[in-house]
Amino acid sequence: MHVLFVIDPLPLLKAYKDSSVAMMRALAARGHTLSVTLQGDLYVEDGIVQARATAIELVDGADLHEHAWWRDTAAPQDLPLSGFDAVVMRKDPPFDMEYVYSTHLLEYAQAQGARVFNSGAAIRNHPEKLTITEFADLAAPTLVTRDMERLKAFHARHQDVIVKPLDGMGGTGIFRLRAEEPNRNAILETLTDNGHRTIMAQRYIPEIVKGDKRILLIGDEPVPYCLARIPLAGETRGNLAAGGRGVAQPLSERDRHIAVTAAQRLAGRGLLLVGLDVIGDYVTEVNVTSPTCFVEITEQTGFNVGEMFAKALERAAG
């Protein structure tokens, strides 16, 4: 296969721990050809969705802590997305309007015969915080609103809650409001922009001290290990970007139930790769843009997550 990655600039990636690089390495090991393009290099001309794409190869034995882990094999070319065997969307958030436009272009490309994973429509239609509303039976009590009085009432009812923006990533903008939080009103005013921005509130889950678990679904099958992202002492956020420590562990019976249930409900929606965030017994987010944790799970358990993804992509791309 010739696989095109829509991705951030390669020199900016931390290849030694980057899940997209793990995907590339697994695909290259299975004999596939790789090209890359940037989000800004997607375009439509005369109705055809195209990309300014660069063919690359991975350097054998390269130090992934350095930048020389790949090399270009040809000058950039303008090519239709439908000419690739698979297009893998791995541009990291923020999920701004440029990202939305890209999902539209990817959707148009699919109509022209391109095979895109995750699909543009699927990424756009599964906002990572809001998608848990499909899993209310598996989630802690949750409220999505910009109404200050509703948020205050939710806090009064549950006493200890987490509030967060709908478009945040890496733990940014997350606050814990305990029963006696003197800054509650100020926090809510800031997050909602005085009632003009919708946010999410969830009942606090004490099991966060044991980790915010990332469970990966690949081709509707759960990876048998998750990564528990354990917060620093005094923190309520387990995100690795917020200093959390990642510990791989086998899926528990409850983890597997959540994963299988989610896979069944999301099946057939164009989602080859999904990252479920689970705290204790509850799913808290459904990540579909560029789920990570491939490298940490592989290094700590020996289970090759990248290879599982590569095989799933081969099956999905036909």
Which amino acid makes up residue 17?
Answer: K
The alpha carbon of 106 is separated from its chain's Cα centroid by a whole number of angstroms, namely: 17
Q: How far is CA 51 from CA 21, 88, 105, 142, in A?
A: 20, 13, 10, 40
**Main-chain dihedrals φ then ψ at residue 87, nearest 5 degrees:** -120, 120
Give the integer Cα–Cα distance in Å for 229 and 226. 9
The secondary structure of 134-178 as a DSSP string is GGGGGS--EEEE--HHHHHHHHHHHSSEEEEETT--TTTT-EEE-
User: What does the DSSP 8-state code read for residue 290?
Assistant: S
Residue indicated by tokens 């990966």: 216
Q: What residues act catalytically?
A: 129, 164, 214, 229, 237, 277, 285, 287
Residue indicated by tokens 């109404």: 147
- The region that residue 270 occupies, defined by phi over 0 for left and psi between -120 and 50 for alpha, beta otherwise, is left
In terms of Cα–Cα distance, which of 315, 311, 310 is closest to 20? 310
The alpha carbon of 83 is separated from its chain's Cα centroid by a whole number of angstroms, namely: 26
The secondary structure of 25-73 as a DSSP string is HHHHHTT-EEEEE-GGGEEEETTEEEEEEEEEEEPTT--TTSSTTEEE-
In terms of Cα–Cα distance, which of 107, 144, 112 is closest to 123? 107
Q: Which residues contact 262 (CB under 8 A, 6 or more apart)?
A: 135, 138, 217, 274, 276, 283, 286
Give the integer Cα–Cα distance in Å for 231 and 308. 28
